[in-house]
């Protein structure tokens, strides 16, 4: 079992090394510092998405869901559109990155906590209804964004469209410290409650009879998901199905349902996929921004495969 | 039949409003003397109003049929991958044979829609029967993924603009005489559903009950699949995707009138037509003389109605 862990760690190290040192060229100091920042960003986003997806699948007791379908990406796009529409192009471009990042994260976390909190209080254990509500809210946000986008002039629309596609290449290194703080805090908390998450995964009646404060832990897990997804989305843009691949592979590789093992495994796999994929696309294939589109495509196929094999829970 | 009558009467003023609203000046009083006004009316306004009514009615009925096939109230062709499959088929034809006549595109889109719906029906058979809300959830995820595939192919082939404007947000601003007549076929397919209304109602009782009552469930299933696929594909080929009509209208009608499909189908059709008309007129007035696509308006209105339904109605199978 631990051999797999070592192997994955080695693979991640190799991927990072390849990303950093492949084709350095003459001005290596500059290139290296640039790449280190991007690498850190990718590792952060990978870890955040991995942990968020595993937690979300545990809470929803469902292996085909990712937290991003709950309308996070739509809310993000709506925020970008609303910002451009209200501030204008120059105002949007002049926004200080840390301020914009903080505001986005706070709004997304607040929105999801309002959704999770009120709905869990009201619907009790009806997680499917909660998720469906999130999905429909996502449609609502997307339509509202489309509505606003119709009122924009073409230049402003192009800016919104650029912001609406995820790109791992445009991670802003100024934001990394605060993003790292939030992500590491949330992941640390998740690892700390990992044994209790194992009990949560057994379902509400069993968990309660085993003495678990079920609803409170569930709210905590959802809050962690909200923080992680918000940070990842604000950092690189909307990514929906990446977490699905990661969580699926982590379940296969870990061969256990214990979160203390599942969570690190998922983080390693996410790092390997992101860094390896970016190295491949950037250096070997010479493509710049299509990694996110390919990840969505492959993630979609992976989802269909999961469904057809009946691996729903 | 009183609700049907009331809705049909409501359609009259709405249609009149739809005939009168538009960027070009047109006065009904001068219709007889002004050839320009007559031209606008017959080439643009009348076809557009007819297209809106046909689309709304056909989509609402397709939604009812879909709900009977799946035995779940929270599905419609737009949330089960049907619409996205049709778009995928249309995109494939556009890439392989750009010059193909419209009926070939239509057939390809219908076949793809049928395949997508069949895939969805296969998928949900694996779901636990108690989880009513898991069915629409799987459907929405499936449509998101098929949509991502369409986007991916569009990205690779530089057709993204065509996809997002033509396929993903339905609008009626491009409708003129000669460019909407395919919708009559969609309406005919929907009318077919009315003739088989009792069979669909029985199918909604479940496979065993239907067989016990002397019905061939597979044959009715195939008929329903054809109706849903043809309606969805034709609407997408002519005006693009229009979300939520097939979901909210049948649910609201069923809340007040129950599940006797032969009695409710005409009401559902009239209700769908009225809702799309209202949204189309709204879209035309919000930024007059520019237009907001009806697909966008319905995305907002429809999702709010859906949320209301989700929390008002106890979830039933």
- Residue range A202-261, pLDDT digits in tens: 888 888 899 888 888 888 888 898 889 888 888 887 776 788 888 888 888 887 888 888
Using pLDDT thresholds of 50, 70 and 90, give the confidence band for residue B315.
very low
**Average confidence (pLDDT) over A161-187:** 81
Q: Using a CB-CB distance cutoff of 8 angstroms, which residues of chain A are in contact with residue B136?
A: 132
Q: What is the CA radius of gyration of chain A?
A: 20
**Average confidence (pLDDT) over B156-175:** 76
Nearest-by-CA chain B residue for A137: B303
B315 at the A interface (CB within 8 A)?
yes
Using pLDDT thresholds of 50, 70 and 90, give the confidence band for residue B3.
confident
B137 at the A interface (CB within 8 A)?
yes
pLDDT digits (tens, 9 = 90+) for B221-267: 899 999 999 999 999 888 888 888 998 999 888 888 888 888 889 99
Give the C-alpha separation, B204 to B280, whole Å.
Answer: 32
Flag whether pLDDT at A37 surpasses 90.
Answer: no
State phi, psi for B266 to the nearest 5 degrees: -60, -40
Q: Tokens 């595109």 sit at which residue?
A: B105
Nearest-by-CA chain A residue for B143: A300
Q: Does B310 sit within 8 Å of A132, measured CB to CB?
A: yes
Q: Quote the Cα angle for A256-A262-A267, to 5°.
A: 150
Q: Does B304 sit within 8 Å of A140, measured CB to CB?
A: yes
pLDDT digits (tens, 9 = 90+) for A9-30: 898 898 888 888 887 777 778 8
B25 at the A interface (CB within 8 A)?
no
Q: Using a CB-CB distance cutoff of 8 angstroms, which residues of chain B are in contact with residue A64?
A: 138, 141
Nearest-by-CA chain A residue for B302: A140
What's the predicted TM-score (pTM) here? 0.81
Flag whether pLDDT at A51 surpasses 90.
Answer: yes
Flag whether pLDDT at B301 surpasses 80.
Answer: yes
Residues A204 and A62 sit within 8 Å (Cβ to Cβ): no
Smallest Cβ–Cβ distance between B127 and the set A139, A297, A312 belongs to: A312
Flag whether pLDDT at B94 surpasses 80.
Answer: yes
Using pLDDT thresholds of 50, 70 and 90, give the confidence band for residue A121.
low
For chain B, the straight-line distance linking the first and the last C-alpha, in angstroms and rounded, comes to: 26
Nearest-by-CA chain A residue for B149: A297
Give one word for B131, left, alpha or beta, with left for phi > 0 and alpha for psi -120 to 50: beta
**Average confidence (pLDDT) over B58-81:** 89
% of chain A residues with pLDDT over 70: 89
Q: Does A136 sit within 8 Å of B307, measured CB to CB?
A: yes
Nearest-by-CA chain A residue for B291: A150
% of chain B residues with pLDDT over 90: 21
What local confidence, expressed as pLDDT, does residue B137 receive?
80
Nearest-CA distance from A258 to chain B in Å? 25
Q: Using a CB-CB distance cutoff of 8 angstroms, which residues of chain A are in contact with residue B307?
A: 133, 136-137, 140
Can you tell me the ipTM of this complex? 0.78
Nearest-by-CA chain B residue for A300: B145
Q: Does A151 sit within 8 Å of B137, measured CB to CB?
A: no
Q: Does A129 sit within 8 Å of B310, measured CB to CB?
A: yes
Is omega for the bond preceding B274 within 30 degrees of 0, making it cis?
Answer: no
Smallest Cβ–Cβ distance between B137 and the set A128, A293, A297 belongs to: A128
Q: Using a CB-CB distance cutoff of 8 angstroms, which residues of chain B are in contact with residue A300?
A: 144-146, 148-149
Q: Using a CB-CB distance cutoff of 8 angstroms, which residues of chain A are in contact with residue B303?
A: 136-137, 139-140, 143
The alpha carbon torsion through A285, A287, A293, A296 (nearest 10 deg) reads 30
> Among A171-175, B146-150, B182-186, which range has the highest average pLDDT?
B182-186
Nearest-by-CA chain A residue for B134: A128
B292 at the A interface (CB within 8 A)?
yes
Using pLDDT thresholds of 50, 70 and 90, give the confidence band for residue A101.
confident
Flag whether pLDDT at B34 surpasses 90.
Answer: no
Smallest Cβ–Cβ distance between B133 and the set A69, A128, A297 belongs to: A128
For chain A, the straight-line distance linking the first and the last C-alpha, in angstroms and rounded, comes to: 23
Flag whether pLDDT at B72 surpasses 60.
Answer: yes
Using pLDDT thresholds of 50, 70 and 90, give the confidence band for residue A311.
low
Q: Does B127 sit within 8 Å of A300, measured CB to CB?
A: no
Using pLDDT thresholds of 50, 70 and 90, give the confidence band for residue A313.
very low
**Average confidence (pLDDT) over A165-183:** 80
> Among B18-32, B81-95, B137-151, B279-293, which range has the highest average pLDDT?
B81-95
What local confidence, expressed as pLDDT, does residue A244 receive?
84
pLDDT digits (tens, 9 = 90+) for B185-202: 999 999 998 888 888 888
3-state secondary structure of B91: helix
State phi, psi for B142 to the nearest 5 degrees: -60, -45
Q: Does A147 sit within 8 Å of B297, measured CB to CB?
A: yes
Q: Supply the mean pLDDT for chain A.
A: 82
Using pLDDT thresholds of 50, 70 and 90, give the confidence band for residue A122.
low
Flag whether pLDDT at B96 surpasses 80.
Answer: yes
Q: Supply the mean pLDDT for chain B.
A: 84
Q: Does A140 sit within 8 Å of B303, measured CB to CB?
A: yes
What local confidence, expressed as pLDDT, does residue A54 receive?
92
Nearest-by-CA chain A residue for B308: A133
Tell me which of A210 and B166 has the higher pLDDT: A210
B121 at the A interface (CB within 8 A)?
no
pLDDT digits (tens, 9 = 90+) for B242-255: 888 998 999 888 88
**Segment 240-279 of chain B within 8 Å of chain A by CB:** 243
């Amino acid at each position: 079992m631990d051999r797999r862990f070592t192997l994955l760690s080695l693979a991640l190290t190799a991927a990072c090394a390849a990303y950093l040192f492949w084709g350095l060229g003459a001005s290596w100091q500059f290139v290296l510092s640039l790449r280190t920042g991007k690498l850190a960003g990718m590792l952060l986003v990978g870890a955040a998405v991995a942990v968020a997806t595993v937690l979300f699948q545990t809470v929803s007791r469902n292996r085909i869901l990712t937290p991003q379908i709950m309308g996070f990406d739509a809310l993000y796009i709506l925020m970008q559109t609303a910002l451009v529409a209200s501030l204008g192009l120059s105002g949007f471009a002049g926004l200080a990155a840390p301020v914009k990042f903080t505001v986005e994260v706070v709004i997304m976390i607040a929105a999801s906590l309002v959704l999770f909190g009120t709905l869990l209080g009201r619907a009790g254990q009806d997680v499917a209804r909660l998720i469906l509500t999130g999905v429909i809210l996502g449609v609502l946000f997307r339509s509202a964004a489309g509505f606003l986008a119709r009122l924009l002039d073409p230049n402003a629309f192009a800016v919104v469209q650029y912001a609406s596609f995820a790109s791992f290449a445009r991670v802003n290194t100024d934001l990394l410290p605060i993003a790292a703080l939030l992500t590491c805090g949330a992941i640390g908390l998740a690892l700390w409650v990992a044994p209790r998450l194992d009990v949560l995964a057994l379902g509400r009646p069993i968990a309660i009879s085993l003495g678990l404060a079920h609803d409170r832990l569930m709210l905590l897990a959802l809050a962690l998901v909200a923080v992680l997804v918000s940070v990842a989305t604000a950092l690189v843009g909307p990514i929906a199905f990446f977490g699905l691949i990661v969580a699926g592979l982590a379940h296969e590789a870990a061969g256990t349902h214990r979160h203390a093992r599942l969570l690190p495994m998922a983080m390693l796999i996410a790092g390997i996929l992101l860094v390896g994929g970016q190295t491949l696309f950037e250096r070997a294939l010479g493509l710049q921004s299509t990694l996110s589109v390919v990840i969505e495509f492959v993630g979609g196929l992976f989802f269909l495969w999961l469904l057809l094999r009946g691996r729903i829970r | 039949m009183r609700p049907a009558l009331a809705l049909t009467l409501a359609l009259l003023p709405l249609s009149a409003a739809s005939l009168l609203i538009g960027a070009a000046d047109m006065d009904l009083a001068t219709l007889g003397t002004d050839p320009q006004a007559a031209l606008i009316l017959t080439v643009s306004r009348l076809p557009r109003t007819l297209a809106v009514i046909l689309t709304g009615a056909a989509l609402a009925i397709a939604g009812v049929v879909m709900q009977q096939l799946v035995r779940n109230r929270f599905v419609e062709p737009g949330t089960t991958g049907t619409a996205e499959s049709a778009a995928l088929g249309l995109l494939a034809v556009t890439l392989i044979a750009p010059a193909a006549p419209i009926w070939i595109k239509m057939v390809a889109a219908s076949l793809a829609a049928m395949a997508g719906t069949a895939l969805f029906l296969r998928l949900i058979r694996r779901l636990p029967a108690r989880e009513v809300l898991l069915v629409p959830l799987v459907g929405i995820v499936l449509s998101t993924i098929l949509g991502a595939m369409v986007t991916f192919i569009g990205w690779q082939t530089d057709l993204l603009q065509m996809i997002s404007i033509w396929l993903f947000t339905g609008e009626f601003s491009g409708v003129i005489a000669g460019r909407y007549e395919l919708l009559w076929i969609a309406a005919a397919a929907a009318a077919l559903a009315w003739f088989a209304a009792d069979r669909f109602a029985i199918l909604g009782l479940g496979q065993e009950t239907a067989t016990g009552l002397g019905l061939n469930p597979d044959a009715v299933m195939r008929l329903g699949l054809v109706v849903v696929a043809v309606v969805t594909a034709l609407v997408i080929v002519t005006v693009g995707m229009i979300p939520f009509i097939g979901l909210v209208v049948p649910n609201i009608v069923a809340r007040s009138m129950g599940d006797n499909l032969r009695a409710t189908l005409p009401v559902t059709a009239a209700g769908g037509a009225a809702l799309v008309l209202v949204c189309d007129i709204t879209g035309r007035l919000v930024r007059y003389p520019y237009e907001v696509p009806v697909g966008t308006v319905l995305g907002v209105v429809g999702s709010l109605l859906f949320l209301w339904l989700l929390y008002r109605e106890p979830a039933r199978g």
